[in-house]
Amino acid sequence: MCGIIGYIGKDNSVKHLIEGLRALEYRGYDSAGVAFFDKENALMRVKAEGRLANVEAKLANVPEAAGSHCGIGHTRWATHGAPSDTNSHPHGTAALQIVHNGIIENHVELKAELVALGYTFESDTDTEIAAKLLDYYYKQESNAPDAISRLTGRLRGSYALGILFEVEPNKIYAVRKDSPLIIGIGKGENFIASDITAILRSTRDYYQLEEGELATVTADSIEISCNGKQIVKERKTALWDVEAAERGGYAHFMLKEIHEEPEAMIKTLRPRIKDMLPDFSDEKLDTSALAKVERLHIVACGTAMHAGLIARGLFESLARIPVEVEIASEFRYNDPIIDESDLVIIISQSGETADSLAALRLAKEKGAHTLAIVNVTGSSIAREADSVLYTLAGPEIAVASTKAYTVQTSLLSLLAVECAMLRGRINESAARELVTELYERAPKAVAEMIDRADEVKAIAEEIKTCEDLFFIGRGADYYLSSEGSLKLKEISYIHSEAYAAGELKHGTISLVVPGIPVIALCTVPSLIEKMGSNIREVTARGANAIAVSFKDVPEANKTVIIPTIDPRLAFLPAVTVLQLLAYYTSVARGCDVDKPRNLAKSVTVE
Ligand code: M6R
């Protein structure tokens, strides 16, 4: 949520800031801005509501930008104050400018103090309050590190801050708490960034800034200190390269990422399979926790939570462990019953989702063993969990999560088999058969649906003008419906609901009117007959029922036939159909597929 970039070095800094912000725009995109030193070392600021292009247009009339060598930039997802030029970052005073990710929770109290001290405010943001408090401490301390330390001592909430001081045109300062920030290492140039994708064009090497650390960055040096003492940090290298984070000829990131699913599944599974059986021995995964665990909690948000629902079915049926799937933002407030005998799995693509991170911390506090299933290496959730299994999907840039779900569910399926074996619930040959389906058959089935995208595109044309729509299913298909529905509404703005097919007639069927599309997931063989009856209930009221199944569903108006696969893994090709449906419907409606309104990729506020 929101993106930060900073550049200092031999090149034009504004060029790097814009490049970085373009890569970060997926994190928040309702306004953007930059602050930079011109060649006379005057500190300047340009910001604008709306997309990055608006800032670029303004910069075209600022000749000083051409001579800049040091600057910071920000792309915003509004929390305090509507998207506007004034509320955009950077914020500051004559002495300094800052960019901020996160939320300052005690902003009301701090603002009152500052008003009493004579400060005035032009924006509605918590960031301007932090900037003015820093200004106040800077006037007292006359040196940046002490002023920053006094500021962070006062801030409650989460923050990643990039800071420029007017009197130090050759330095960028950076600090963070509960919001990620890295320091990119270049040659004769250095960076700060909230996300590695912002700097991949220039470098893959970085330091991870930790809470309580202050980074002082010049063109030739990076000093990181903690409580005034310089520390030596481990240099890290990103696994992703710049190609992975670019669109590579696809019309949208979302389409590219759907196409990457088969390969991402194989990459994620390969290192964890030996002799066609699960093998997590290279993972520092405490398998004894899996063998003994009495109850499993899966906690996540959005699509990651839907992946958890699919996993629940597999863990319960294969390993016979009771599983609770919980929405991370609710988890803490439900006073969850967890103890040392429980395993808590946190699923997150970004590894930075604030609610999921908070749930992880609570689970640890309660003594449960925690396991993170995360895509972004070194992210907060990955670092704080007792064990981590990385999904190897590569960067996911489109706001709508696609390949992340596919790899999360693939990895969790393998883990469910491992767990079932450890608990003696499945024999080796049955495990081997299922793993073979997962590793060899499922990626091919997903690839086949991608090749047949035109069939789905035709359905998107059929539904593109509807206002409301239902997804229905039973068992695993109900969980899949939830994901299909989320994806469609997120990027096409069509209102849709996912319903347990048998539950519809208990009230909601009153919304079924002639012509309404009903997407009926029918991939659970034992439930297909019952689904047939539920489909008849809606077609009798004029609905246009579109089934997704292994074979033609005669009760439906049409069926998208998915490839034959072990039905326990049918969600994999079926979800690709739903993702493609959302994608093509969004395109057909002229929506901004990769950056849907009001959203941001990584939700780092609660
Ligand atoms: O990064 P995370 O997996 O923790 O993100 C969780 C959700 O915010 C995310 O899956 C969201 O629901 C997607 N935009 C849905 O496509």
Closest CA to 306 of 479, 473, 498: 479
Structure token pair of residue 230 = 């310089």
Whole-angstrom Cα distance, residue 298 to residue 323? 7
Contact in structure between 401 and 302 (CB atoms under 8 Å) = yes
Atom of ligand 1 nearest to the CA of 602: 1
| DSSP output for 468-511 | EEEEEESTHHHHHHHHHHHHHHHHH--EEEEEETTTGGGTGGGG
Q: Which residue minimizes the CA distance to atom 11 of ligand 1?
A: 302
Q: Whose CA is nearest to atom 7 of ligand 1?
A: 302
Handedness of CA 313, 314, 316, 318 (dihedral sign): positive
Hey, what are 274's tokens? Answer: 């030996």
CB 356 within 8 A of CB 308: no
Residue closest via CA to ligand 1's atom 12 equals 302
Q: Rg for the chain (alpha carbons), in Å?
A: 25
Distance CA 34, CA 12 (A): 13
For residue 584, the CA-to-ligand 1 centroid distance in Å is: 20
Half-sphere exposure of 405 (CA within 13 A, CB side): 33
Span from the CA of 27 to the centroid of ligand 1 (angstroms): 11
2 is catalytic: yes
| Ligand 1: centre distance to CA 468 (Å) | 23
Q: Are 382 and 374 in contact (CB under 8 A)?
A: yes
Q: Is 301 a catalytic residue?
A: no
- DSSP states of 174-243: EEEESS--EEEE-SSEEEEESSGGGTTTT-SEEEE--TTEEEEE-SS-EEEEETTEEE----EE-S--TG
Is there an atom of ligand 1 within 6 Å of 303 CB? yes
Q: In this predicted structure, what is the pLDDT of residue 83?
A: 84
Is the CB of 79 within 6 Å of ligand 1? no
- Distance (Å, rounded) from C-alpha 201 to C-alpha 476? 41
Entry pTM:
0.85
Query: Does ligand 1 lie within 6 Å of residue 302's CB atom?
Result: yes
Nearest CA to ligand 1 atom 4: 348
| pLDDT score for 163 | 98
Our CA angle for 154, 155, 158, nearest 5°, is: 160
Residue 401 CA: nearest ligand 1 atom is: 16
Q: State the DSSP code for 321.
A: -
What is the atom index within ligand 1 of the atom nearest the CA of 399?
14
Ligand 1 atom at minimal distance to the Cα of residue 603 = 8
Q: With contact defined as beta carbons under 8 Å apart, do 448 and 475 qualify?
A: no
CA dist., res. 558 & res. 345, Å (int): 38
Is residue 55 classed as helix, strand or coil in its secondary structure?
Answer: helix
Q: 356 CB less than 6 Å from ligand 1? A: yes
Of 47, 171, 403, 601, the active-site residue reads: 601
Number of C-beta neighbours around residue 288 at 10 A: 10
Q: What is the pLDDT of residue 291?
A: 86
Contact 34, 90 (CB under 8 A): yes
Q: What is the pLDDT of residue 21?
A: 94
Burial class (CB in 10 A: 0-12, 13-18, 19+), 236: middle
The two counts, helices (H) then strands (E), for the chain are: 19, 27
Cβ of 289 below 6 Å from ligand 1: no
- Ligand 1 pocket test target in 197, 350, 411, 601 with most atoms within 8 Å of CB: 350
The predicted pLDDT at position 248 comes to 78
Ligand 1 lined by 602 (C-beta under 6 Å): yes
- One-letter identity of residue 333: Y
482 lines ligand 1 (CB under 6 A): no
**Is residue 544 within 6 Å of ligand 1 at its C-beta?**
no
* 30 CA distance to ligand 1 middle (Å): 19
Residue 400 alpha carbon, nearest atom of ligand 1 = 16
Q: Report whether residue 350 contacts ligand 1, using a CB cutoff of 6 Å.
A: yes
Task: For ligand 1, atom 14, name the residue with the nearest CA.
Answer: 400
pLDDT at 4: 95
Task: Give yes or no for a cis peptide into 443 (omega within 30° of 0).
Answer: no
Quote the pLDDT of residue 488: 98
Task: Give 10-residue mean pLDDT values along the chain (606 residues).
Answer: 92 96 83 95 94 94 94 88 89 97 94 97 95 98 96 95 97 94 97 93 95 96 95 92 80 95 96 96 82 92 98 96 95 87 95 94 94 93 95 94 98 97 95 98 97 97 96 96 98 96 90 95 94 96 97 96 97 98 98 88 72
d(CA 306, CA 348): 11
Q: Where are the beta strands (DSSP E) in 449-541?
A: 468-473, 495-500, 517-522
Say which residues have a Cβ less than 8 Å from residue 440's Cβ, sequence separation at least 6: none
